[in-house]
Chains A and B, each alone.
Chain A
Amino acid sequence: MAKKAMSDSPRIGVYVCKCGSNIGATVDCAAVAEYASTLPDVVHAVYQSYTCSEPGQEQIKKDIKEFNLNRIVVASCSPRLHEPTFRNCLKEGGLNPYLLEMANIREQCSWVHALEPEAATKKAKDLVRAAVARTSRLEEKTELEVPVNQSTLVIGGGVAGIQAALDLADAGHKVIIVEKNPSIGGIMAQLDKTYPTMDCSI
Chain B
Amino acid sequence: MADAGRHPNITLLTMSEIKEITGFVGNFRVRVLKRARYVIEKECTACGECAKVCPVVVPDEFNMGLSTRRAIYSPFPQAVPAAYVVDINHCLGHNPIICGRCLEVCQRRCIDFSMNDEELTFEVGTIIVATGAQPIDPTHLDEYGYGRFENVLTSMELERLINAGGPTKGEVIRLSDHKRPQSVAFIQCVGSRSTHRGHPYCSNICCMNTIKSAIMLKEHYPEMEVKVFYIDIRAFGKGFEDLFRRSKALGVRYIRGLPGSIHENAETKDLILTVENTATNALEKHVAELVVLSIGLEPPEDIKVLQEMLALQRNADGFYLEAHPKLQPVDSASRGIFFAGCAEGPKDIKDSVTQASAAAARAMRLMAPGVIKVEALTAIVDESKCTACGLCARVCPYRAIVVDPKTKMPAKVTQAACAGCGNCAAECPQDAIEMSHFTDEQIESQIDAILAEDPMEKVLVFACNWCSYAGADYAGVSRLIYPATNRLIRTMCSARVSEKFVWRAFARGAPVVLVSGCHIGDCHYINANHWTKRRVERMWKKMERLGLRRERLGLEWVSAAEGMRFQQIMTEMERIRSTVTPEEVRRTMEILAQEKVTGGNQK
Contact = CB atoms under 8 A, between A and B. Distances in A.
Interface of A: 1, 78-81, 98, 104, 106-109, 111-116, 119-120, 122-123, 126-127, 129-134, 136-139, 141-198, 201-202
A201 B5 CA distance: 17
B482 A160 contact: no
A195 B209 contact: yes
A175 B13 CA distance: 11
Interface string B20-35: 0000011110101000
Contacts of A184: 1, 4-5, 12, 14, 80
A152 B473 contact: no
Interface stretch (B95-103, B342-350, B577-585): B342-350
A171 B364 contact: yes
B371 A187 contact: no
Contact of B446 (A112, A130, A145, A167): A130
A9 to B, nearest CB: 15
Nearest to A186: B132
Contacts of B479: 111-112, 114
Among A104, A133, A141, A142, residue most surrounded by chain B Cβ atoms (within 10 Å): A133
Interface residues of B, number: 132
B128 A176 contact: no
Given A149-B27, A184-B5, A192-B162, A112 B482 contact: yes
A181 B13 CA distance: 9
B449 A108 contact: no
B260 interface: no
A152 B125 contact: yes
Interface stretch (B137-145, B279-287, B391-399, B487-495): B487-495
Given A120-B484, A190-B156, A193-B212, A160 B361 contact: no
Interface in B548-603: 567
B172 to A, nearest CB: 12
Contact of A192 (B30, B129, B164, B367): B164
Interface string B211-225: 110011000000000
B198 to A, nearest CB: 18
B75 to A, nearest CB: 4
A138 B441 CA distance: 10
Contact of B215 (A134, A182, A198): A198
Given A107-B472, A171-B364, A177-B13, A198 B85 contact: no
A172 B9 contact: yes
Contacts, number: 359
A183 B75 contact: yes
Contacts of B374: 143-146
Of all A-B residue pairs in the complex, the 8 with the closest CB atoms, nearest first, are: A160-B341, A107-B476, A161-B130, A183-B79, A167-B360, A119-B484, A163-B356, A149-B125
A133 B442 CA distance: 8
Contacts of B340: 160-161, 163-164
A141 B436 contact: yes
Contacts of A145: 371-374
Interface stretch (B180-188, B234-242, B404-412): B234-242
8 contacts: A146-B27, A158-B342, A164-B360, A173-B9, A173-B367, A182-B37, A192-B165, A196-B240
A156 B129 contact: yes
B452 to A, nearest CB: 7
Contacts of A188: 349
Given A115-B481, A137-B442, A196-B240, A151 B125 contact: yes
Contacts of A180: 14-17
Nearest to B371: A145
Interface in B226-240: 237-240
B76 A80 contact: no
B12 A177 contact: yes
B250 interface: no
Contacts of A168: 9, 360, 363-364
Contacts of B274: none
B352 A159 contact: yes
Contact of B135 (A154, A179, A187): A187
Contact of B476 (A106, A136, A166): A106
B370 A130 contact: no
B133 interface: yes
Contact of B243 (A143, A144, A146, A196): A196
Given A160-B352, A160-B356, 19 more contacts: A111-B477, A112-B479, A112-B567, A119-B484, A126-B453, A126-B487, A130-B446, A137-B442, A145-B374, A146-B371, A147-B27, A148-B25, A155-B128, A157-B14, A158-B130, A178-B18, A179-B12, A181-B15, A187-B133
A59 B295 CA distance: 55
B10 A177 contact: yes
B195 interface: no
B123 interface: yes
A105 B491 CA distance: 17
A191 to B, nearest CB: 5
A40 to B, nearest CB: 10
Nearest to B474: A107
Contact of B437 (A81, A109, A141, A149): A141
Contact of B11 (A137, A158, A162, A174): A174
A107 B473 contact: yes
Contact of B448 (A133, A147, A173, A194): A133
Nearest to B246: A198
A130 B449 CA distance: 5
Contact of A195 (B1, B211, B485): B211
B489 A130 contact: yes
Nearest to B125: A149
